[in-house]
Amino acid sequence: MSGEVLEGRAHKVGDHINTDLIIPATYLVSKDPVELGCHLMEGLDPDFCSRVEAGDIIVAGYNFGSGSSREHAPVAIKGAGISCVIAASFARIFYRNSINVGLPILESPEASAAVSEGDLLMVDLSSGIIEDVTTGESFEVPSYPEFMRKIMDAGGLIEYRRSELSGG
Amino acid sequence: MSQSRRILAVHAGRESVSPGELIDVGVDLVLANDITAPLAIEEFNKLGVDVFDKSRVVLVLDHFTPNRDIASAEQCAFVRRFALEHRIEHFYDGGEVGIEHVLLPEEGLIRPGEVVIGADSHTCTYGALGAFATGMGSTDIAAAMATGKAWFRAPEAVLINVTGKPGPWVGGKDLILHLIGVLGVDGATYRSLEFTGDGIAELSVDGRLTAANMAIEAGAKNGLFPVDRPVVEYLEGVGVKVAECALEPDEYGYVGEMSVDMVSLPPQVALPHLPSNTVAVGEAPRVKLDQVVIGSCTNGRMEDMRVAAELLRGRRTAPQVRLIIIPGSPRVYRRSMEEGLFDIFLDAGAVISPPTCGPCLGGHMGVLASGERALSTTNRNFTGRMGHRESEVYLSNPAVAAASAVSGTITDPGELR
C-alpha cells in the first residue's frame, strides 16, 4: 500500500467512533466487503454510505475504531470504497486490523482538527503527506515502524507469514 | 519489567523487553467465535497449512447461537466443518456452548503466565487468572492458528492499587466502571492495567474476572491480577495446578498509578452512550426501564446469579419490565438450577436464556426497540449496541440490575423495599 497517492472528499466523524457504529453487530453474518460496506456507519448515520464515493476519506477524531475486535469494521470501510482513514488517534485493535487487511490509516491530530467536511484531500502514503487541496494546508504523518511496513509491503499479515512459513 | 512484559519476554525467548518494542511472541491459546472465526478461517485457508496445535485452538459458537437466522446458521456450519476437518479439540457447539470468557476458565484452559489471544475484544478477561490475554482481529488469529505466533507492541503499564473491603452490593464491576470513568474510554490505550493492593483479596475470583473483562473499555491491551491463594484454589477446582505469583514492581516505572478505596465506593452506573459515563447509583437518573439483562462475559458467573437471586427472592419484576437472565455457561446454568435460583428467577417473572452473548451486542434474545431503555450487566452501552439506534443502555452490577428490575427504575439495592 506504500507508494500510492490517494484522492477523495473528506467525511468527518467525531471522537470515540466505535466498531458498533462503524458496522452494527447484527450485520456480522457476512464476510463480503461490499455487503458489509452497504451498512457502513449505519449506527451513526443510516445515510452515510449513500454519500460515499469511491476514493473518499474518513477524517475522525480521537479513539477511532474502539470497542469490539470485529475485523468487519475495516473490511466494511474498504468495501464501501473509502480509500483511507485519518484520525486524531486509533484504538489498538482497529489499528492492527487495518494494517492486517490493507486499509491505509494515518494518525494526525492536526489534520483531524483542520480538515472540514467535503474538503478534497490528497494523501501520499510513501511520504506521509496529507494535503487539503480545498484549503491548501498540508500535514506530515510520522512513518510506520519498520516491522509494520514489512507487513504492509508483503501485502498484509497473511502474506508476511506465508513468506516466513516457506522459509522466504 | 511489568508482569505483562515479563510474560511476553518469556514467550519471545528474551531476557527482557522494553515498552514500545515490537516483538514476535509464541502464543499458548488462540480463540475465535462464530462471528470472528469465519473471517479467520478464510484467511487461514490461504496459507495452506494445518493448525499449529489442535489442542491450543479454541472455537466457541456463542454469539448468535442457538442460530438466530439462516445467515448465522451458515456461519456456524462453516466453523463447524472447519473444526471437524482440523480435529480442533476444544470446539464448543450445542449444549456445550458457554459464553467464551465464562467458559474457558471453567474448562481449565487458562493458566497463569500463559499468552492467550482471541478474536474477541473481551479476551482480556483471563488476566484475572494471571495470564497475558488480549483481543485481536480475525487475520491476526488466522496467522496465529497457523504459526502459533503473534506480533505485539510491548505495553507500558498503569498500576492500579486497590484497597479495602467493598460494601454490600459492590464488587468487581463497580471497581472497573469507576476506573473507566476516571481513565476515559481511551485512557489506557496500548497499556496494561496491573492490579495490586490488599483490596484484591476482598474481591472474589468471579469479581476479578468481571474487572479484567472490561479493561478494554478503557482502551487497555490487557488487565492483570496477581495469582494469590483464591486464584490458586479456583484453578485447582478446574484441574490446573499452579503456585502463587505476586506482581513484581516494574523497574521502568509505571506510566500511571491510581488508587481505588473499595470501602467508600458506591455501586456504579454507566449512563448512555459510553462506559466511561459513570456515576454513583444514587446519582443515576430515575428513568423508566423497559428491559433488564443479567448475564454476559462480564457478569454471567455463579456469583452474579446468586447476587441477583438474593435480591429477587420473593419479589416480582415491575410491570412492563422484561427481565432476561443469562447464565454464562452450562456449568453456571446447571448449578443455578440445582441451587434453586431458577425458581426464584421464574417466580420473579424473569426469562431464563441459554448461555449466549445474544442481547449484549443486539444480536438476539432481547433486542431493543426505538425509544426503549435497558439496564444491563454487560460491558458496552454504545449507541445502538443492544438494538435500535434510538434505544439506550445503562450498565451496572447484577445487584443494581436485579433491584432495578423490581422497582422499574435505576435503584440502589440497599434501598429496595
DSSP structure string for B308-362: HHHHHTT--PPTT-EEEE--SSHHHHHHHHHTTHHHHHHHHT-EEPPS--GGGGT
| Residues B290, B224 within the same domain | no
CA atoms within 13 A on the CB side of B285: 11
| Residues B281, B405 within the same domain | yes
Q: Could you tell me if residue B38 is inside a domain?
A: yes
Q: Mean of the per-residue pLDDT values for chain A? A: 94
Listed residue (B107, B156, B105) closest to B128, CA to CA: B105
What is the gyration radius of the CA atoms in chain B, in angstroms?
20
Report DSSP letters for B208-233, one per residue: HHHHHHTGGGGT-SEEE--B-HHHHH
* pLDDT surpasses 90 at A75: yes
- B49, B137, B142 ranked by CB distance to A93: nearest: B137
Least confident of B40-44, B145-149, B242-246: B242-246
Distance CA B234, CA B131 (A): 14
Query: Does B362 sit within 8 Å of A71, measured CB to CB?
Result: no
| Residues B181, B105 within the same domain | no
Q: Could you tell me if residue B87 is inside a domain?
A: yes
Domain count, chain B: 3
With beta carbons less than 8 A apart as the criterion, state whether B222 and B25 touch: no
Interface of A to B at Cβ within 8 Å reads: 16, 18, 20-21, 24-26, 28-31, 43-44, 46, 62-63, 66-72, 75, 89, 91-93, 96-97, 100-101, 145, 147-148, 151, 156-158, 161-162, 164-165
Query: Does B189 sit within 8 Å of A156, measured CB to CB?
Result: no
Q: Could you tell me if residue B96 is inside a domain?
A: yes
Q: Which domain holds residue B260?
A: 155-265
Strand (E) or helix (H) holding A161: helix A157-165
Question: How far is CA B144 from each of CA A92, B158, B306, rounded to the nearest angstrom?
Answer: 18, 27, 38
Distance CA B361, CA B64 (A): 10
* Chain A residues touching residue B380 (CB < 8 angstroms): 18, 20, 67-68
Q: Distance (Å) from the C-alpha of residue B19 to the closest C-alpha of chain A?
A: 14
Say what the pLDDT of residue B197 is.
97
Distance CA B347, CA A127 (A): 66
| Residues B161, B255 within the same domain | yes
More confident: A145 or B409: B409
Q: Distance (Å) from the C-alpha of residue A28 to the closest C-alpha of chain B?
A: 6
Residues 6+ apart with CB under 8 A from B195: B160, B162, B208, B211, B223, B224, B225, B226, B247
What is the gyration radius of the CA atoms in chain A, in angstroms?
15
Q: Could you tell me if residue B1 is inside a domain?
A: no
B37-45 vs B138-147: helix crossing angle, rounded to 10: 50
Query: Does B119 sit within 8 Å of A69, measured CB to CB?
Result: yes
Q: Could you tell me if residue B331 is inside a domain?
A: yes
Distance CA A85, CA A66 (A): 14
pLDDT digits over B310-350, tens only?
999 999 999 999 999 999 999 999 999 999 999 999 999 99
> Rounded to two decimals, what is the model's pTM?
0.97
* Start-end of H helices in B255-327: 296-299, 302-312
> B367: which 3 cell numbers?
433486542
| Residues B224, B180 within the same domain | yes
Distance CA B45, CA B32 (A): 15
* Chain B residues touching residue A47 (CB < 8 angstroms): none
With beta carbons less than 8 A apart as the criterion, state whether B228 and B130 touch: no
pLDDT digits over B233-268, tens only?
999 999 999 999 888 888 778 999 999 999 999 999
| Residues B283, B410 within the same domain | yes
| Residues B257, B290 within the same domain | no
* pLDDT surpasses 60 at A68: yes
Residues 6+ apart with CB under 8 A from A40: A22, A23, A48, A49, A52, A76, A77, A79, A80, A82
* pLDDT surpasses 60 at A70: yes
Say what the pLDDT of residue A146 is.
86
| Residues B250, B332 within the same domain | no
Residues 6+ apart with CB under 8 A from A118: A9, A10, A134
Query: Does A66 sit within 8 Å of B151, measured CB to CB?
Result: no
With beta carbons less than 8 A apart as the criterion, state whether B58 and B83 touch: no
Distance CA A124, CA A131 (A): 8
Q: Mean of the per-residue pLDDT values for chain B? A: 97
Query: Does A165 sit within 8 Å of B36, measured CB to CB?
Result: no
| Residues B289, B324 within the same domain | yes
Distance CA B119, CA B132 (A): 15
- Among B118, B153, B188, which residue terminates a domain? B153
- B147, B362, B385 ranked by CB distance to A161: nearest: B147
Say what the pLDDT of residue A165 is.
83
Give the CATH number of the domain where residue B111 resides: 3.30.499.10
- Among B209, B244, B265, which residue terminates a domain? B265
A92-101 vs A146-154: helix crossing angle, rounded to 10: 40
For residue B256, list its beta bridge partners: B158
Q: Distance (Å) from the C-alpha of residue B172 to the closest C-alpha of chain A?
A: 20
* pLDDT surpasses 80 at A3: no
Closest-CA residue in chain B for A101? Answer: B139
Q: Can you point out the beta strands (E) in B44-172? A: 57-60, 90-92, 115-118, 132-135, 149-153, 157-163
Q: Could you tell me if residue B200 is inside a domain?
A: yes
pLDDT digits over A117-166, tens only?
999 999 999 899 999 999 999 999 998 888 888 888 888 899 999 988 88
Distance CA B120, CA B133 (A): 11
* Chain A residues touching residue B38 (CB < 8 angstroms): 31
Say what the pLDDT of residue B247 is.
84
Give the CATH number of the domain where residue B208 resides: 3.40.1060.10
Least confident of A12-26, B239-253, B363-377: B239-253
* Chain B residues touching residue A25 (CB < 8 angstroms): 35, 63, 361-363, 385
pLDDT digits over B216-240, tens only?
999 999 999 999 999 999 999 999 9
Say what the pLDDT of residue A168 is.
52
| Residues B258, B274 within the same domain | no
Give percent of chain B above pLDDT 70: 100
| Residues B136, B186 within the same domain | no
| Residues B167, B140 within the same domain | no
* pLDDT surpasses 50 at A1: no
- Among B265, B286, B304, which residue terminates a domain? B265
| Overall average pLDDT of the B381-397 stretch | 97
pLDDT digits over B155-164, tens only?
999 999 999 9
* Chain A residues touching residue B382 (CB < 8 angstroms): 18, 20-21, 43, 67
Interface test with B, best of A95, A161, A163, A165 (most B CBs within 10 A): A161
With cut-offs at 50, 70 and 90, classify the pLDDT of residue A23. Answer: very high
